[in-house]
Structure 1
Amino acid sequence: MSLSRREFVQASVALLSAPAFIGQARAQAKEFRLGLITPTGHSWNRAAVAFGETLKKETNGRLSATAFHSGQLGNEAAMMQQLQTGALDMGWIQAAELGSRVPGIASINAPYLVRATTDVAKLVRHDAALRLLDLLPRETGTVGLGWGITGMRVVFSTKDITGAKDIKGMKLRINPTPVYRDFYQQLGAAPTPIPTPQVFDAMANGQVDGLEADIEFSWNQRFDKVAKAMLQMNALFMPFAPLVSGRIWQRFDAKDKELIRGLTRQSLDAQIKDIVTTELALIEKFKAAPFPIRTEPGLEVTALVRDFDKLWLPKAPQIAELRKVGAAL
């Protein structure tokens, strides 16, 4: 039986289209490799695992995510490079790393936007904070899906400390983001960046006089064992953003993108609630250690904010809007 020319062309088109269709179907099935620097017990990691499990359940296994914790895929700078090339699918990355690349993102690390963890939870859900993520695709080739949080950061000192005035002259291990550097230099500290795994020993041997960190991380690392006191600064917090590689994101249709966004926000809501509800319990654990916890007795922050904003508003004008939002919470 011979084919007409029309029948031959139709059959050829169908044959050529089949591999493309099959390839498209295969592209829709995906296991995301998700990198983050926090350890298994950390709330960020728990939320990432929950996201992967829920994604797998909601798609009957077509989509899933495996979390690689504790920097198994490299530090955050390395993971950002992998996200940009598409070698890594997802990364849950601190605002500090993002702000070092995109000054506008650094605005969310500015001091005294809010003064309590409950207000951090509200701020990161506000449109003003979420709009910061719109800067990422063009500047980093990644897509931000929302914000998660840590609690307000505290200062651990190897000498007794009663207020911010005692920070002057301290060799203080900080997160190396320029925002934190400038703030602690305003207070008279000598910011000293040290890799996280080395901080405990650096405090024990006198290499640094203290560090600033969030409560959850500090309890997990038991910095109270090498410090004399903790100061609750109520000045800074460190959010993180779940990112997807732009090269990976473009492969998915609108329905899958909506699903991934929704499930990510769901896991972030749980993570934020986790921090808000457990932070007070962790503080009580420090007290029961026992370990002295100092509360800043009433630092006048107006001048600090003015001097900081004079330096940073030209680079990150979004700070002004975030301050208005924070003041209204």
Structure 2
Amino acid sequence: MSSTAKFRKLGIVSAVAFAGLTAANAVHADNWRYAHEEYEGDVQDVYAYAFKEYIEDNSEHTLQVYRFGELGESDDIMGQTLSGILQFVNQSPGFTGSLIPEAQIFFIPYLMPTDMDTVVEFFRESEAINKMFPKLYADAGLELLQMYPEGEMVVTANEPIEKPSDFNNKKIRVMTNPLLSATYEAFGATPTPLPWGEVYGALQTNMIQGQENPIFWIESGGLYEVSPHLTFTKHGWFTTASMANKDFYDGLPEEDQQLIQDAADYAFDEIIVHINGLAEKSLEKIKEASDEVTVTRLNDEQIEAFKARAPQVEDKFIEMTGESGKKLLNQFKEDLKEVQSDKE
């Protein structure tokens, strides 16, 4: 069964729970539904409500937002979107990668810079992001509205991580993403795919010994309570994307399509303001809440030891994605070089 078929099947199974909701939609065609992967007040939630605000302030349409767990896990909401139950979904490439292999590019370690100004300009200007990715998503039945950064990735573990050998014999939770597994294999860990709903308990019972996420999510989800040693490895940023069911989007009048694009742009601008300083605030909250937390920031020499292992992950990405992935990676590097040269 193809990845697209698998997600469509998930959506059809989930449709039973939405019989009343779907029937209501037939009567109120202007009531759109949008699901994301995070909790109230988290980055994807802020984006969703900015998107909702723009839609409702500039049209007669309404938008219902569903947070993590309200409609299931990440696979569930993607299935519901591909099946047309949801009109919009926000999902990170960590999960979309099984549907769109090229989306895993964000999990090549040390490909992306970690200073915010460069990251934001890259997302605004990148040809790979803004021209190549929409075609890849369209082939999977999705209209890509916006890709945006959420925060620098931070590793939490049951002890401080300072060098690759510290990952030996550690099971590190990863999203259901083959390339992310390859990254942690390269780092020396045993990658362990788990859905988000199982992560806290798995850390608490020592079924796994660590995981990675942006710092705001580590704070919001209370992960520091059961995985108190935080390491800033500078290996990348967490990226996510808002999308629409393509059949739904293509069937809209031109003015509604423009409304949605404008709403996505508005929400992007709002989220860039929101994440500025968010990591620092979240880290302070964590430190105030727990005396057990340690924070390790790798120095340049320590980073080089991890960075030396990145090329094998890049090779794995090209092996997984073929010529399409190779072209995307080359464009990614060109875009990053251009953005970084502008900063000099």
User: Normalised by the size of structure 2, how large is the TM-score?
Assistant: 0.81
Q: Would the aligned equivalents of 1:174 and 1:211 in 2 still touch at CA under 8 Å?
A: yes
Aligned position for 1:292: 294
Q: Would the aligned equivalents of 2:37 and 2:44 in 1 still touch at CA under 8 Å?
A: no
- Counting only pairs closer than 5 Å after superposition, residues 1-329 of structure 1 correspond to structure 2 as 30-59=30-59, 62-118=60-116, 119-125=118-124, 126-131=126-131, 132-138=133-139, 140-288=140-288, 289-290=290-291, 291-297=293-299, 298=301, 299-300=303-304, 301=306, 303-314=308-319, 315=321, 316-317=325-326, 318-327=328-337, 328-329=339-340
Range that drifts further, 281-290 or 65-74:
281-290
Q: Would the aligned equivalents of 1:28 and 1:252 in 2 still touch at CA under 8 Å?
A: no
* Alpha-carbon distance in 1 for matches of 2:227, 2:242: 33
* 1:179-235 Cα deviation digits (max 9, x unpaired): 210010011100112232222222222111111111111011222222341111111
Instruction: Give 1:129 shift.
Output: 1.4
* Alpha-carbon distance in 2 for matches of 1:165, 1:269: 40
Instruction: Give 1:117 shift.
Output: 4.8
* Alpha-carbon distance in 2 for matches of 1:110, 1:247: 31
Instruction: Give 1:77 shift.
Output: 1.9
Higher gyration radius (CA):
1
* Alpha-carbon distance in 2 for matches of 1:166, 1:302: 15
Q: Would the aligned equivalents of 2:213 and 2:238 in 1 still touch at CA under 8 Å?
A: no
Aligned position for 2:16: none
Structure 2 counterpart SS, 1:285: helix
User: Which letter does structure 2 place at the counterpart of 1:115?
Assistant: P
Runs of 4+ residues deviating >4 angstroms: 26-29
Instruction: Give 1:28 shift.
Output: 10
- Counting matched residue pairs gives 301
Structure 2 counterpart SS, 1:70: coil
Structure 1 counterpart SS, 2:159: coil
User: What is the root-mean-square deviation in Å for CA atoms of aligned residues?
Assistant: 2.1
* 1:74-127 Cα deviation digits (max 9, x unpaired): 222222222222221111111122221122222233221223150332222222
Structure 2 counterpart SS, 1:160: coil
Q: Would the aligned equivalents of 2:73 and 2:195 in 1 still touch at CA under 8 Å?
A: no
User: Which letter does structure 1 place at the counterpart of 2:232?
Assistant: Q
Q: Would the aligned equivalents of 1:90 and 1:245 in 2 still touch at CA under 8 Å?
A: yes
User: Which letter does structure 2 place at the counterpart of 1:47?
Assistant: Y
Gaps of 5+ in 2: 1-25
Percent of residue pairs bearing the same amino acid type: 20
* Alpha-carbon distance in 1 for matches of 2:106, 2:73: 21
Range that drifts further, 318-327 or 37-46:
318-327
Aligned position for 2:4: none
Name the CA shift for 1:129/1:109 in 2 (closer, same or farther; >3 Å). Answer: farther
Name the CA shift for 1:225/1:80 in 2 (closer, same or farther; >3 Å). Answer: closer
* Alpha-carbon distance in 2 for matches of 1:94, 1:117: 20
* 1:242-284 Cα deviation digits (max 9, x unpaired): 1111121122122221121011111122113212321122223
Structure 2 counterpart SS, 1:112: coil
Name the CA shift for 1:321/1:304 in 2 (closer, same or farther; >3 Å). Answer: farther
Structure 1 counterpart SS, 2:147: coil
Q: Would the aligned equivalents of 2:88 and 2:242 in 1 still touch at CA under 8 Å?
A: yes
User: Which letter does structure 2 place at the counterpart of 1:162?
Assistant: E
